[in-house]
Amino acid sequence: MPEGSWPAETLSDASRAAFYKAALDRYESAEADTKAVRRQGFLFGCGGMLVGVLGIAAALTVYHKAPLPEPPGYILVDKSTGWIGQPMTAIDIPAYYPEATKDAALRDFIVSCESYVPQTWAKIAWHACMIQATPDEQRRREADIGRNGARYPVALFGPTGWAMPTDFPPGAFVNIGEAGTGTSKTYNYRVRYRRTEVINGRESLVPYSAEIQFQFHPELKISPADRLINRTGLQVLAFSTVRDQ
């Protein structure tokens, strides 16, 4: 049977006449009731409408006086068990970042700061690098890879070359020290990676070693677009990288 169709029987002439008479009786009864109620219903209807308006106004007043609470910044969820923890603020959550989260944040930072694609570098990679660094480190990045820097990528790779960190081998991220607590907790990591570099049409895979000193500050206010880039609130205090021999 097609969806939406229903089986029915054909009525006899007598049944059809009885059905129409019953329907007419119901219509006449409803019309009489409507005329009787119409004379009094207007007054009661207006009163009901006024009560309704007052109710809406009262509800709006309550809403403005007691707005809904802001949702919590973070909720911990255990992937293996599905256990849901207590809500946490952005200030508290970095203490619960696992090693994989730290490694991913550092990888994103290195890719942003050590990549060069002529068409997008100035608008995308440069901005992503800067929003993941403190103001002091931003000035050091400017001195290193900015227009007058020794590693200014436009001068090194030219209009047809490019560079991209493409390989972080197993064990690439090594924690070499921590200091402080809470929002002031500072991590020191050594990171090994290899960068694909193309200069004058010639491609090479170059190994590098970097040292990074950083903190996490997801409580800092940034735009929604920048939050998509810097999800953990990474703030790099110092970054240096050298080409391995």
Task: Classify residue 45: in a domain, yes or no.
Answer: no
Element (H, E) at 71: none
- At 5 the pLDDT is 38
CA distance 140 to 236: 11
Task: Classify residue 52: in a domain, yes or no.
Answer: no
159, 189 Cβ separation under 8 angstroms:
no
- At 89 the pLDDT is 76
Q: Which of 2-16, 110-124, 181-195 has the lowest mean pLDDT?
A: 2-16
> What one-letter code names the amino acid at 17?
A
> What one-letter code names the amino acid at 188?
N
- At 93 the pLDDT is 84
pLDDT higher than threshold 70 for residue 81: no
Task: Classify residue 140: in a domain, yes or no.
Answer: yes
- At 30 the pLDDT is 54
**Token digits for 140?**
């050091």
The CATH number given to whatever domain includes residue 203 is: 3.10.450.230
Task: Classify residue 14: in a domain, yes or no.
Answer: no
Average pLDDT over residues 178-198: 94
- At 117 the pLDDT is 97
Strand partners, 210: 191, 241
- At 64 the pLDDT is 42
- At 13 the pLDDT is 56
State the pLDDT confidence band at 26, using cuts at 50, 70 and 90.
Answer: low
Task: Classify residue 228: in a domain, yes or no.
Answer: yes
pLDDT, tens only, 35-79: 554 555 443 444 444 444 434 444 443 444 455 455 556 666 655
Task: Classify residue 46: in a domain, yes or no.
Answer: no
CA distance 237 to 8: 79
Task: Classify residue 80: in a domain, yes or no.
Answer: no
Domain that holds residue 163: 94-243
CA distance 85 to 81: 11
Task: Classify residue 119: in a domain, yes or no.
Answer: yes
Q: Count up the domains in the chain and report the number.
A: 1
Q: Which residue has the higher pLDDT, 165 or 60?
A: 165
Going by C-alpha positions, the residue among 191, 37, 9 that lies closest to residue 113 is 191
pLDDT higher than threshold 90 for residue 112: yes
pLDDT, tens only, 193-223: 999 999 999 999 999 999 999 999 999 999 9
CA distance 45 to 170: 76
State the pLDDT confidence band at 101, using cuts at 50, 70 and 90.
Answer: very high
Question: Where are the alpha helices (H) located in the chain, listed in sequence order?
Answer: 13-65, 99-114, 126-131, 135-145, 153-157, 224-229
Query: For the chain, what is the mean pLDDT?
Result: 79
